[in-house]
A and B are shown apart, each in its own frame.
Chain A
Amino acid sequence: MKIFPVIALFVLWLVLSASYDLIHVVMGIVTAAIVVWINPTAAPSTRKFSWLSAIGYMPWLFGRVLKSGFHVSKLILDPALPIKPELLHYKTNLRSNGELVVLGNSITLTPGTITVEVAPGELIVHAIDAPSQKDLVSGVLDDKVGRLFPMKERDK
Chain B
Amino acid sequence: MTWLAIFLIVVGLFFLVVGSIGILRFPDVFSRAHALSLTDSLGAVFVLAGLAVYEGFTFNFLRIVVVLLLIYLMNPVISHATLRAAYRSGLRPTGEKDK
Q: Do A and B come from one complex?
A: yes
Interface members, chain A 40-66 (any B CB < 8 Å):
65-66
Q: Say whether A111 contacts B72, CB under 8 Å.
A: no
A to B contact number (C-beta, < 8 Å): 101
Interface members, chain B 38-74 (any A CB < 8 Å):
38, 41-42, 59, 62-63, 66, 72-73
Identify which of A65, A85, A89, A105 gathers the most chain B CB atoms within 10 Å of its CB. A85
Q: Which residue of A lies closest to B38 (CB)?
A: A111
Q: Say whether B95 contacts A128, CB under 8 Å.
A: no
Which listed residue (A18, A89, A104, A111) contacts B99, Cβ 8 A?
A89
Q: Say whether B93 contacts A15, CB under 8 Å.
A: no
Interface members, chain B 4-62 (any A CB < 8 Å):
15, 18-19, 21-22, 25-26, 28, 30-31, 33-35, 37-38, 41-42, 59, 62
Asked if A33 lies at the interface with its beta carbon under 8 angstroms from chain B, I say no
Q: Say whether A15 contacts B62, CB under 8 Å.
A: yes
Which listed residue (A66, A105, A126) contacts B42, Cβ 8 A?
A66
Interface members, chain A 84-131 (any B CB < 8 Å):
84-89, 104-105, 108-112, 114-117, 124, 126, 128
Q: Which residue of A lies closest to B77 (CB)?
A: A105
Chain A residues with Cβ below 8 Å from B15 are 69, 73
Asked if A8 lies at the interface with its beta carbon under 8 angstroms from chain B, I say no
Which listed residue (A76, A108, A117) contacts B21, Cβ 8 A?
A76
The number of residues on chain B lying at the interface, defined by a beta carbon within 8 Å of a beta carbon of chain A, is 40
**Size band of the A side of the interface?**
20 to 34
Given the interface contacts A89-B99, A105-B77, A114-B80, does A126 sit within 8 Å of B30 by beta carbon?
A: yes
Asked if A16 lies at the interface with its beta carbon under 8 angstroms from chain B, I say yes
Q: Say whether B66 contacts A15, CB under 8 Å.
A: yes
Q: Which residue of B lies closest to A127 (CB)?
A: B34
How far does the Cβ of A58 sit from chain B's closest Cβ, in whole Å? 9
- A-B CB contact pairs (8 Å), 20 listed: A15-B59, A15-B63, A16-B63, A16-B66, A65-B41, A73-B15, A73-B18, A84-B95, A85-B96, A87-B96, A105-B76, A108-B80, A109-B72, A111-B42, A114-B30, A114-B34, A115-B80, A116-B30, A116-B84, A126-B83
4 tightest Cβ-Cβ pairs between the two chains A and B: A108-B76, A76-B22, A111-B38, A85-B93
